[in-house]
Amino acid sequence: MSNSRSSSCRLSPFAFCLLLAGCGTDLPPGTESFTVGHTLVRTDSALDVVGVVYRLADTATVPPRGAVRHWLTQLALALDDPAIQAARAPGLMPVSLILETYVQPDRPDTACGWIAPGEQRCFTGNHAVRRQVRDFLAAAPSFRPRTVGLEGLSPGERRRDLADVYVALTKGKSLDSAVMAYSGYHDLQFDVTLARTLTTGNTTAALDPARPFGPSPRIFLTPDHVYNIRSYRSPNYIWLALSHQMVHEVVRRVFVQHPELLRHGFPLRDAVAPEMNRIGYTGLFWDEAFGEQLARAVTIRVLALASPSITWAARSDALNAGMTLVPWLEDALMRYEQARERYPTLGDFADRLALALDSVPTDACQASESPGVALIGVARHRAVVGWMAEGSPFRARRLLIGDTVLAIDGDSASAAGLLTPTRQVNLAWARHLPFELGMLDIRRAGHDYVVQAPIRYVPRQQVRIASQARRIASDTLPICRWVTRARRR
């Protein structure tokens, strides 16, 4: 799927400021992109149409007010359109799968990461569903004539959103310069597309709607949920969301330069994964779990220096999301800030980050056993067991690697995507799966079986909240923070 060709307006920042000052927040007709510093920002009318079709494919998720509700009202008689039928074919579909296929349609649905200390694994699957997503993206352009006149889809409204982002990135300090100055990596480049009609909702992590690939990763900025109209109007939202995604590129570079860093803190994976799962992140790979928490911490420190007034929002969001490593990493990063002559780049500070990870305190608590199972999607209603941890309770129940999984705790194994990292846990109706998984319906050698691992509450570890002190270090808390279902006594 190739992105739509767009004309770009290349004016100097001074000329742009004059235009904005004289014409409010409007940009010259035909403007579909701008470049500020090291950041390219663009709209994409073809992606806008894809978003409309995606949002209308599942009418149960249409919000009660706003543009999408108005689209549904106007297009109520067009819901049997072939494009919408194609969007329904893959089943429940996270935004991340759409965006990643849109950028690289021929790339296999693959997830790689550190699954154990010193062991990096890649999982590939989901070929049938990926093909259906490509078919949906190929069919979506035929729906364009129906979108003419819909709210939010005119060229003027696209320019307005682009102008709002321009104001956010040029009013005061430069965001990409702040990220580069903090990290010491001054050659970073950022390619940002406004995913104006898509929403992360309950299927995809809000701040990370897609995994970036390639030497100049594509960043997608979804609308601010606070505003139904003119969703990019808040400079604070642009800075909060975009700085986080920019910092991910910094973190990826640190991991490439210093892979030894990922050998530290690995025991913390099971302590942080359950809380991260609740907001759409996965905990199978340590580099993904640690990378997200490090990106949050670096983002907070970048904002503390460049835009202190919104630092509290980034910090509170991280803590409310259960990113319990963030305060400990922040403490380490403040030492980095105080010794920049010794540490020109964040990568040079990797050994100190490793020491910080090894010193993070944890507390014992009661929760069900970790399932220790990785599933690889192979079709809409089938997954395959791709990996089991040595301590997985399913080993004793004779689950085998290679078994076909049809249902998980009574729910069809249908996540319209690779389940490793298990995208199914990103769906609202399945958020209990990573830490209270109990039953798998499987097929082996043509026969159907049920493999059930009784939910037993055992001592687990959770990262200590930095602001809370324990009365007695040896105490075991009666329940872990992430537990959503209480056991019967």
Structure tokens at 34: 């701008």
Flag whether pLDDT at 96 surpasses 50: yes
Tell me how far apart the alpha carbons of residues 120 and 166 are, in angstroms, rounded to a whole number. Answer: 40
**What pLDDT is recorded for position 13?**
45
Most confident segment among 1-5, 23-27, 42-46, 65-69: 42-46
**Region 431-444: what's the mean pLDDT?**
64
Q: Which DSSP letter does residue 224 get?
A: P
**What pLDDT is recorded for position 353?**
96
**What pLDDT is recorded for position 64?**
87
Q: Tell which wins on pLDDT, 140 or 280.
A: 140
Summarised one tens digit per residue, pLDDT across range 288-332 is 889 999 999 999 999 999 999 999 989 988 888 889 999 999 999
**What pLDDT is recorded for position 72?**
94
Question: Do residues 348 and 390 make contact, with C-beta atoms less than 8 angstroms apart?
Answer: no
Which residue's entry shows tokens 């543009």?
Answer: 67
Tell me how far apart the alpha carbons of residues 28 and 130 are, in angstroms, rounded to a whole number. Answer: 38
Ranges 9-13, 68-72, 132-136, 349-353: which has the least confidence: 9-13
Question: Do residues 377 and 383 make contact, with C-beta atoms less than 8 angstroms apart?
Answer: yes
Flag whether pLDDT at 204 surpasses 70: no
Average pLDDT, the chain: 83
Closest CA to 37 of 8, 4, 5, 13: 13
Measured over the CA atoms of residue 308, residue 265, residue 213 and residue 83, the dihedral's sign is negative
Summarised one tens digit per residue, pLDDT across range 84-95 is 999 999 877 778
Question: Do residues 408 and 399 make contact, with C-beta atoms less than 8 angstroms apart?
Answer: no
Question: Do residues 268 and 326 make contact, with C-beta atoms less than 8 angstroms apart?
Answer: no
Tell me how far apart the alpha carbons of residues 140 and 462 are, in angstroms, rounded to a whole number. Answer: 45
Ranges 61-65, 179-183, 324-328: which has the least confidence: 61-65
**What pLDDT is recorded for position 18?**
41
* Per-residue pLDDT band at 488 (split at 50, 70, 90): very low
Residues in a beta bridge with 441: 407, 450
- pTM for the full predicted model: 0.87
Task: Compute the residue count for the chain.
Answer: 489
Tell me how far apart the alpha carbons of residues 434 and 180 are, in angstroms, rounded to a whole number. Answer: 36
Structure tokens at 4: 């739509």
Tell me how far apart the alpha carbons of residues 378 and 185 are, in angstroms, rounded to a whole number. Answer: 40
Distances (CA, A) of 267 to 262, 358, 468: 11, 9, 21
**Region 354-369: what's the mean pLDDT?**
89
Question: Do residues 393 and 368 make contact, with C-beta atoms less than 8 angstroms apart?
Answer: no
Residues in a beta bridge with 363: 462
* Per-residue pLDDT band at 155 (split at 50, 70, 90): very high
Question: What domains, with CATH codes, occur in the chain?
Answer: 1-360 (no CATH), 368-457 (2.30.42.10)
SS3 at position 477:
strand
